[in-house]
């Protein structure tokens, strides 16, 4: 099983950028798709982006497409989420999660498909 730790959150002004990191431990990190979710107060958890293990293909929610970029460095067992042009609606706790053994990111993300979760990192966009 993969253990995940997020970092890189913080306070940023609208229009600013942040890069989140998801560091994994466990020998099977490169066997899993890794996804980023977020949850704002009073809202349901939302799948933001995901990257596959096999071909590095990616998925982005419409709300972040063109602004966020996901990448992975298997040698460092780390997945990154570069977030640009942030706005107040991006304020949330961001979680990274490991997909199940056969999971493949495609056209949607559901929490039930992810088996291991980090503790989350807070991102606040405010002037």
Q: Which of 22-26, 52-56, 71-75, 87-91 has the highest mean pLDDT?
A: 87-91
Cα separation of 23 and 119, whole Å?
Answer: 12
- The percentage of residues in the chain with a pLDDT greater than 90, rounded to a whole number, is 79
Mean pLDDT of 19-35: 86
Mean pLDDT of 43-57: 93
Q: pLDDT category, 26, cuts 50, 70, 90?
A: confident
- Better pLDDT: 6 or 25: 6
Mean pLDDT of 57-74: 95
3-state helix, strand, coil in the chain (%, to 5): 10, 45, 45
Looking at residue 27, its pLDDT comes to 61
Looking at residue 17, its pLDDT comes to 98
pLDDT tens per residue, range 99-109: 988 889 988 89
Is 68 in contact with 82 (CB distance < 8 Å)? yes
């Amino acid at each position: 099983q993969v253990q995940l730790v997020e970092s890189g959150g913080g306070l940023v002004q609208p229009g600013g950028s942040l890069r989140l990191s998801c560091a994994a431990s466990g020998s099977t990190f490169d066997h899993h798709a890794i996804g980023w979710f977020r949850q704002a107060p009073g809202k349901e958890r939302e799948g933001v982006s995901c990257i596959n293990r096999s071909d590095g293909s990616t998925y982005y929610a419409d709300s972040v497409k063109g602004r966020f970029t996901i990448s992975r460095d298997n040698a460092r067992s780390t997945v990154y989420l570069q977030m640009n042009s942030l706005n107040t609606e991006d304020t949330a706790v961001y979680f990274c999660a490991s997909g199940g053994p056969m999971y493949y990111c495609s056209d949607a993300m559901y929490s039930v498909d992810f088996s291991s979760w980090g503790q989350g990192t807070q991102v606040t966009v405010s002037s």
